[in-house]
Chain A
């Protein structure tokens, strides 16, 4: 029989193993072995298999195969899925509304209103005419090659998601900066969110929500992009000059006054650096999220891959680069303005 038979007999588990014996379907490898007339047993020590789940299952039918692990996980997830959706669905519904609303608004407002408004915002946050001209030219270029709608969809999703990232990320970062326990608990989660391949986010979300709902990609983008703003808020507040904090204490500030009058203003450069990163990561994710029906330039990239439509894919990629440059320059310029007013 198989390699690890002796192990199970030594442990006195023969009985238990025999109970699990069933003539279930064989694996492909088993069938191939059978067909070629080879026995499953290795001939020498050289071929000794690692005592993995499958190898142990060969010797003892009651031992679960590794396939059962993944299947178990899936079944467990499906079992709680309905209850989970019951809770998550209403909570996340506003996300769908705001995404749909933003998409509707951006696309249905005429271009000659949207573009000037954007330029006005750019001027307001950067006070730089050079950037206004650059952004205006880039947007006009995208519109000229008929990518205006796609670009606006992408931008609308980024605005909503980045705004929500800041809305939730900054308070989480503040909580982390105030409690070391909170920091210890949160950092592994942030690490996981940051290192999990972007595609993997989408898998459980597809099961939880319907692919036609916009919150599906909204959640994926927020989870992926929220990390830098949380981290840098925490870091920024922890880096605030200890002497200034001491002065705030010595003059009798309440913790709340300290937070709003000292810590947040002084951490602002770091928080804004986090916002910049968050916006850039939303852009990266919104392209991947086109796999789960996120509209925008990502759809064109996907079409380029699926239909081998080289031109469409490349131009859409170029459009994404332009958006990235615009978003980066504008946030960096406003960050520089904040820095300039604080430099010691």
Chain B
């Protein structure tokens, strides 16, 4: 089943400082981040994180800088050791692993893509792409065909013998993605992978990632501070603030029912018509008597529907999935869903 839990994070705490165990007690008793820093000189990294990462899906962890998102992703392959809590991969506790087993896990189970690319500057693009296999002991001749294949897949055909500094930022990150793909690991960790790129290239890279994901069905954990990017990529969205999970779930759901002023502030600037999809705002009843203006797919976004309607607010559309009618959407409902805060929608619902 596609909804298997790949990675499960339970009650994860991270506190930075000389005696994190002592500080942990205070945190568990409810001390907040600022007080902990003032009174005990410890920095609260993460507080009581519980996230399930589903197999074959893109889980996006979003938050502003300092929210602990990069700290969180580094716990998954234990680049950072937690203060307390549990991390399970395929039901096995990652924290129990010995050094050799952990290395095995990093080599075969998880690959990582970095914000600053982190390519080896003295190696060619080909050697960089094959780094994971090289670490496992393959020579260039062994990994060449694999590396060339994935480099071509990310659009870097013919660049194999260049050095990273000869490539643009976007191309360097393509090498970073190829490197992660060549390792053939089921889990990919992407730490602000596209944040250092300019907007157009970033959008290209997002498309590339979605396209690859359509083919490969990897379990991807993606870190970003950009809500647009988060909404575009995520199957499951986790919003972090000051080291705590504020809300997590289906991104459409979060957009329609934000449960925190922090998130409301975040989503105010979003182009809702482009992000919201028909399935999240439709009525789940199909009335056969109504004269429908046409059929919509449930994953169409509202912008498509708006252009289909030609601006006519009286139209009602039928929503179909695999040729079967699953609901309806009136243009009235659609317009209401476009009002940009969480609160008014709740009032209309009440």
Contact = CB atoms under 8 A, between A and B. Distances in A.
B114 A246 contact: yes
Contacts, number: 63
A253 interface: yes
User: Which of B107, B114, B120, B163 has the most A CB atoms < 10 Å from its CB?
Assistant: B120
B135 A246 contact: no
B306 to A, nearest CB: 43
A252 B122 contact: no
B111 interface: yes
A212 interface: no
Contact of A252 (B104, B114, B164): B104
A250 B106 contact: yes
Contacts of B153: none
A244 interface: yes
Nearest to A249: B79
B122 A251 contact: no
Interface in A287-344: 341-344
Contacts of B165: 343-344
Nearest to B108: A252
B114 A243 contact: yes
Nearest to A343: B165
Interface string B77-97: 101000000000000000000
B135 A243 contact: no
Size range of the chain B interface in the assembly:
20 to 34
A241 interface: yes
A251 B121 contact: no
B112 to A, nearest CB: 4
Interface residues of A, number: 21
B131 interface: yes
A246 B118 contact: yes
A262 B103 contact: no
Interface string B105-119: 111101110101111
B49 interface: no
Nearest to B133: A251
B273 to A, nearest CB: 38
Given A243-B114, A251-B131, A251-B183, A344 B121 contact: yes
Given A243-B116, A243-B118, A247-B114, A254 B103 contact: yes
Interface string A39-69: 0000000000000000000000000000000
A266 interface: yes
Top 10 nearest A-B pairs by Cβ distance? A252-B106, A252-B107, A247-B118, A250-B112, A243-B118, A252-B103, A344-B165, A243-B116, A265-B122, A244-B118
Given A250-B110, A266-B122, 20 more contacts: A243-B114, A243-B118, A244-B119, A246-B118, A247-B112, A247-B118, A250-B79, A250-B189, A251-B111, A251-B131, A251-B135, A251-B179, A252-B103, A252-B106, A252-B107, A266-B120, A268-B122, A341-B122, A342-B121, A344-B165
9 contacts: A243-B114, A249-B106, A251-B179, A252-B132, A253-B135, A266-B122, A341-B122, A341-B163, A344-B165
